[in-house]
A and B are shown apart, each in its own frame.
Chain A
């Protein structure tokens, strides 16, 4: 039993960090735009599918095609997200939550179905770069390379995000807009453009998750729902709008899932929902969230 605890911990950590890439964007978008984006999982899925296609296109680059994809695919997804924000989302920022939910829900259908048309319904196999293949022995356990890769990538991206939000002028503006949009606007800041940027960054993060996750899970239609539900649970547990909350929530949910399979396999899926319900009953706005006014 004890022998299996450590590998299970590492698996949970990798899973949690993958969740963090997706959930941090979701949380950021909610914090600034006040929109709960159901289509966030669809962006993750698009990232993974574009990774597959781009790797085929960029095959001349040899081993580097994956790394080039890691840069290009999220940017493409961010552009798509920008178009969605421009055309549809920005018209309903002032509307009630239910319209946000339903509009982004509509994009779940649209992107899901378009992906089915372009990439079919079978799981796609991605040729992993050599750096990610193989495994490392550590404390008597064998750790697959893609676990390490995902953890390191998430840490780098997470630190980058933290630096961006707290160390740059643009990040400060974003935090100001999240805190008090009216005042920010009064100071002459173009909030529309800021919202566009935040939505694109959020979806960009999801797409990085998709490209990174493609080394662990084969991209397939339906993976958007598979990730968006845990991502929701994470941001709700951590507190909507809090990136730190998203990190804590991601690790918590990742580890709970991982150990849940080991300890009570029959109820593993139930467990994360139980954790969420439990946290929300005790703290209705999540661990790091601020209570909603209405």
Chain B
């Protein structure tokens, strides 16, 4: 069974899950205590980040190792707006989301323009260099960004939004909207062109699709969503730090895609949630979470290269008896 088949079938399952999942999340948001509400909020934000990366990784076959930079641009756009401008947070809060997304996609457009010229591993390493460039600027431009002191006290507006539940539901709506947008991309001719590029760029070019332009567009789209994820994250954490744009952060969404399965629509989101859950779980027993995660990763790469999502969708289809190629 080709990867492609797995991907299309999983996508077909997509929207039904969407409604079930939303219903579950709404109930959880009302029922659970604050601590878990915060945990799930962070899961959702990381899920969006992972989904943004998967537009490149899973759909188009472009391995980006510097996406934390665009996440970081989102984080810092909001943090700097709140910190530097002396305007009421009630105005800045909605505006900063737009600016974060636009700034991230603008930076994505500039870097993407150069990055898409490289292919395969060179693309991965070039995106890494650009990512580190952003990190270095955030880290070294002390007067403006505060360097490694970071920027603290980035609160959402007073009232409901500042409570754990309030921000949870806000995140749910924002992430939900973004997921819907990504779902539309997934189903669109554009989405199919991306898969074609992943499978065989040369042939796709022959069909008359401008591969370079498509690569650039999907890169910018991906940075757009990463920027929104960053904006959501900074109001959640209420603190911005250069390592939100750093090398280690850039690996997280890739790992989430791998764990969840990059050829399933919800795979990366599932992966992000599983990773955060494991993080929380192991942190209760030991401080050596990276060790546990590393071992889990090795096992997944070696034995479940399609991730949890790939594994489940195969099982599910077998159980539900739907058509198989």
Q: Are A273 and B129 in contact (CB under 8 A)?
A: yes
Least Cβ–Cβ distance between A17 and chain B, in angstroms = 22
Per-residue contact bits, chain A 85-121, to B (CB 8 Å; 1 contact, 0 not): 0001001100111110111011111101110110000
Q: Is B121 an interface residue (CB 8 A)?
A: yes
For chain B, the bracket of interface size reads 35 or more
A149-157, A165-173, A189-197, A275-283 - interface stretch: A275-283
Kindly list chain B residues whose C-beta atoms are within 8 Å of the C-beta of A286.
Answer: 122
Q: Is A274 an interface residue (CB 8 A)?
A: yes
Given A110-B291, A229-B132, A236-B122, 18 more A-B residue pairs with CB atoms under 8 Å apart are A88-B302, A96-B61, A97-B63, A97-B120, A98-B124, A98-B254, A99-B301, A99-B305, A105-B297, A110-B295, A113-B288, A240-B121, A267-B136, A273-B136, A276-B126, A284-B118, A284-B122, A285-B122
Q: Is B44 an interface residue (CB 8 A)?
A: no
Kindly list chain A residues whose C-beta atoms are within 8 Å of the C-beta of B255.
Answer: 102, 105
Q: Is A58 an interface residue (CB 8 A)?
A: no
Question: Which 8 A-B pairs give the minimum distances between C-beta atoms?
Answer: A109-B294, A110-B294, A106-B297, A113-B291, A269-B136, A109-B290, A273-B133, A270-B136
Least Cβ–Cβ distance between A246 and chain B, in angstroms = 14
Chain B, residue nearest A97 (CB): B121
Per-residue contact bits, chain A 210-247, to B (CB 8 Å; 1 contact, 0 not): 00000000000000010001001100100010000000
Enumerate chain B interface residues (CB-CB to A < 8 A). 57, 61, 63, 65, 114, 117-122, 124-126, 128-130, 132-133, 136-137, 139-141, 201, 247-248, 251, 254-255, 258, 288, 290-291, 293-295, 297-298, 301-302, 305
Q: Are B248 and A113 in contact (CB under 8 A)?
A: no
Per-residue contact bits, chain A 51-81, to B (CB 8 Å; 1 contact, 0 not): 0000000000000000000000000000000
What CA separation (Å) do A109 and B290 show in the bound complex?
5
Kindly list chain A residues whose C-beta atoms are within 8 Å of the C-beta of B139.
Answer: 269
Which of these, B63, B130, B298, B302, contacts A107 with CB under 8 Å? B298
What CA separation (Å) do A233 and B324 show in the bound complex?
45
Least Cβ–Cβ distance between B165 and chain A, in angstroms = 34
Which of these, A95, A97, A236, A276, contacts B305 with CB under 8 Å? A95
Q: Are B129 and A294 in contact (CB under 8 A)?
A: no
Chain B, residue nearest A275 (CB): B129
Q: Are A281 and B114 in contact (CB under 8 A)?
A: yes
Q: A103-B297, A232-B128 are in contact. Are A268 and B120 (CB under 8 A)?
A: no
Chain A, residue nearest B143 (CB): A266
Kindly list chain B residues whose C-beta atoms are within 8 Å of the C-beta of A106.
Answer: 293-295, 297-298, 301
Q: Are B293 and A109 in contact (CB under 8 A)?
A: yes
Q: Is A3 an interface residue (CB 8 A)?
A: no
What CA separation (Å) do A195 and B15 show in the bound complex?
46
For chain A, the bracket of interface size reads 35 or more
What CA separation (Å) do A106 and B141 show in the bound complex?
31
Which of these, A113, A114, A269, contacts B140 with CB under 8 Å? A269
Q: Are A276 and B140 in contact (CB under 8 A)?
A: no
Chain B, residue nearest A108 (CB): B294
Least Cβ–Cβ distance between B138 and chain A, in angstroms = 10
Least Cβ–Cβ distance between A120 and chain B, in angstroms = 13
Q: Is A292 an interface residue (CB 8 A)?
A: yes
Chain B, residue nearest A281 (CB): B114
Q: Are A112 and B290 in contact (CB under 8 A)?
A: yes
Q: A110-B291, A277-B114, A292-B119 are in contact. Are A92 and B301 (CB under 8 A)?
A: yes
Kindly list chain B residues whose C-beta atoms are within 8 Å of the C-beta of A240.
Answer: 121-122
Kindly list chain A residues whose C-beta atoms are within 8 Å of the C-beta of B120.
Answer: 97, 292, 294
Q: Are A292 and B133 in contact (CB under 8 A)?
A: no
Q: Is A36 an interface residue (CB 8 A)?
A: yes
Which of these, B133, B291, B293, contacts A270 with CB under 8 Å? B133
Kindly list chain B residues whose C-beta atoms are within 8 Å of the C-beta of A269.
Answer: 136, 139-140
